[in-house]
């Protein structure tokens, strides 16, 4: 986790990446909201790479219940490391268990005639 500050110019770029282009927004409110969210999720890499898949009218959506749930789950997914879950298993060289003879049943007329 890289807990650092995002330069003002870059934070404006990140804020605009979440907002609809035709949205008339209050830059001061959006900046304050972004820095509050950054304190809650303090990773500049996350914010640089994060994309919702849809555009917002305001970053205040992240303060709603739905926005907080989405942001929390996406933040957890961002740090999910699947490599730790997989273990290496060694195959044994000796056989385990006994062989069972399987009697093949005739499935067709040609199988029946071959016998």
Domain boundaries, the chain: 8-81
CB 112 within 8 Å of CB 104: no
Tens of pLDDT, residues 61-113:
888 899 899 999 998 888 887 776 667 777 777 877 888 888 877 778 887 77
Cα separation values, 62 from 43, 55, 105, 107, Å: 16, 12, 64, 62
pTM of the model: 0.60
Which runs of E-coded beta strand occur in 39-84? none
The CA dihedral of 13, 16, 22, 26, to the nearest 10 degrees, is: -110
- pLDDT, tens only, 24-34: 777 888 888 88
CB atoms within 10 A of CB 76: 9
């Amino acid at each position: 986790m890289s807990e650092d500050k995002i330069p003002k110019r870059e934070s404006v770029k990140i804020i605009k990446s979440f907002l609809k282009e035709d949205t008339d927004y209050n830059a001061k409110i959006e900046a304050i909201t972004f820095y509050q969210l950054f304190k809650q999720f303090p990773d500049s890499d996350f914010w640089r790479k994060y994309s919702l898949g849809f555009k917002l009218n305001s970053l205040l959506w992240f303060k709603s219940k739905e926005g907080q749930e989405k942001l929390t789950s996406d933040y957890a997914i961002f740090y999910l490391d699947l490599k730790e879950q997989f273990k290496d298993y060694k195959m044994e060289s000796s056989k385990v268990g006994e062989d069972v003879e399987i009697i093949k049943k005739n499935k067709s007329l040609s199988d029946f005639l071959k016998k």
